[in-house]
Amino acid sequence: MAHIITVPAFSDNYIWLVCNDKQDKAAIVDPGDAKPVIAALKENNITPAAILITHFHNDHVGGISDLLEEYPNLPVYGPYSERIPHITTKLGGDETIRIEEIDAEFKVMNVYGHTAGHIAYFTEAQGQNRLFCGDTIFAAGCGRVFNGTMEQLHDSLAKIAKLPEDTLLYCAHEYTMANIGFAKWVEPESVDLLEREKTAQAMRDDNIQTVPSLLSLEIKTNPFLRTHLDHVVERVASATGKTLNNSTEVFAAMRTWKDTEYD
């Protein structure tokens, strides 16, 4: 497995094709829309090998039925606890799955919070670590809490932060510039964040995607991974008027602050 093809969908979604060395077979990650996926497969002469689903939201699963009409008997992997059509292998986390057609193994992580059963797929290939993380962590941000909990999402981000720092994070949306805008509310004097903003803006001006991002960069600039830092605690407490006793409370206050005053 050496090549990832980005399939843009809707206004800001990314669907990922995880290809084998020959780039003639691929696993499809979170196909919310079948039409652009089928077009990309045919354009690149790729045969799909499997579908990997992170969670139940329609912009991640909406294309499954049409893909199966075009490619019958395609295996579909996804979280066991969420109502997702057509899953053939139900996953809860801590499993390792192997997709022979693309010569790749994926370690399944439970990363609950955005949804109650959200999972992610971690793989190591040719010296590069990759995490297909759905809507759990974004470039410079994280997902909202829907039917999970703040504590779950905080714990999931902490779990991701412990992965090797060279891990590439393949999230499902191009939210980077908006997320950086909020991150500057939290850490307005961060040199790393201002440099990231400059780089990301130049990429977007040239219509270049900012995803995937390196975990090492997230650790330096993503406020939701920095809730343990004293100056972040002080800033969030001041902005929200809350007494914050631990990192989970800081995270919850920060996420609510973004939900209510920034988004």
**Active-site residues: which are they?**
55, 57, 59-60, 114, 135, 173
Residue 8, preceding bond cis, omega within 30 degrees? no
According to DSSP, residue 200 is labeled H
Distance in angstroms (rounded) separating the CA atoms of residues 151 and 153: 6
CB 5 within 8 A of CB 165: no
Determine the 3-state secondary structure of 38 from DSSP. helix
Among 72, 63, 74, 11, smallest CA distance to 40 is for 63
- Amino acid in the structure at residue 216: S
Please spell the DSSP secondary structure of 116-184, one letter per residue.
TT-EEEEEEETTEEEEEEETSEETTEEPPPSSS-HHHHHHHHHHHHTS-TT-EEEESB--HHHHHHHHH
CB 2 within 8 A of CB 21: yes
Contacts of 72 (CB under 8 A, 6+ apart): none
Distance in angstroms (rounded) separating the CA atoms of residues 46 and 215: 29
